[in-house]
Structure 1
Amino acid sequence: MEKLKAAAMGPRKPDGSLPDIGLQLDRRSHLIDAGLDVGLPFSGKAPDLGAFEIE
């Protein structure tokens, strides 16, 4: 969480926009394959919980 907080509080880009923050799950996360199939494409046994699907 501290890593995410540090990234979010980082300096703005030259155009004034907020810094890019990667929201990918760690490959060891218990949130991988923990979602429910709602008919959208996914990789693995089940969808991942989070912003991105681990490939």
Structure 2
Amino acid sequence: MHSTIRRNAIVVSEDFFNRTAVEQIHKRAAGKDNMIIKEFDKKILALAWPKQPISIPATE
């Protein structure tokens, strides 16, 4: 399955059950396509990160 979504920013919840659910999503998504998942403590940082340019490693 291919997706145009390359980044997933997550604001870490203080709730145990929410954190557990997100961990399960991470496990299922691991190794799928080229998606990068990153956790943030602040919502403003999580919203800004996906807007940053994606650096693609040079291929030889």
What TM-score range do you get, normalising by the shorter chain? Answer: under 0.3
Per the normalisation by structure 1, the TM-score is 0.27
Per the normalisation by structure 2, the TM-score is 0.25
Larger radius of gyration: 1
Which structure has more RCO (C-alpha within 8 Å, separation ≥ 6)? 2
Q: Going by fraction, where is helix more abundant, 1 or 2? A: 2
